[in-house]
Amino acid sequence: EVRRENPDGEQDIIEIVGIESLFRLADRFDLKCVSDCLEQVLIPQVWEDDYCWKLLYVLSDRYQLLGLQAKLYTRIDCYFD
């Protein structure tokens, strides 16, 4: 799991294993809407954490969630510009 501080000072816990499980379910049941959900819910939370969103990209590639990949490409390009 990855911990980071919220702007309000509260601690966030993002469970990487939980994220990977979502990708496995998406792959098994062909749930492309999962990529939209992850994009809206998780990516804003992990934007400050390089490890998290790079891992999300690897997982999106593994499970072929192309909508999520496109969003992550954009964020990675912005990061390196």
- Cβ burial of 71 (10 Å; 0-12, 13-18, 19+) is buried
Q: Is the dihedral of CA 39, 26, 22, 54 positive or negative?
A: negative
Is residue 58 over pLDDT 70? yes
The answer to whether the pTM exceeds 0.75 is: no
Q: At 11, which helix (H) or strand (E)?
A: strand 11-14
> Of 14, 6, 9, 4, nearest to 55 (Cα)?
14
- Listed by start position, the domains of the chain span 2-80
How confident is the model over 9-28, as pLDDT tens digits? 544 444 555 666 766 666 66
Cβ atoms of 63 and 24 closer than 8 Å: yes
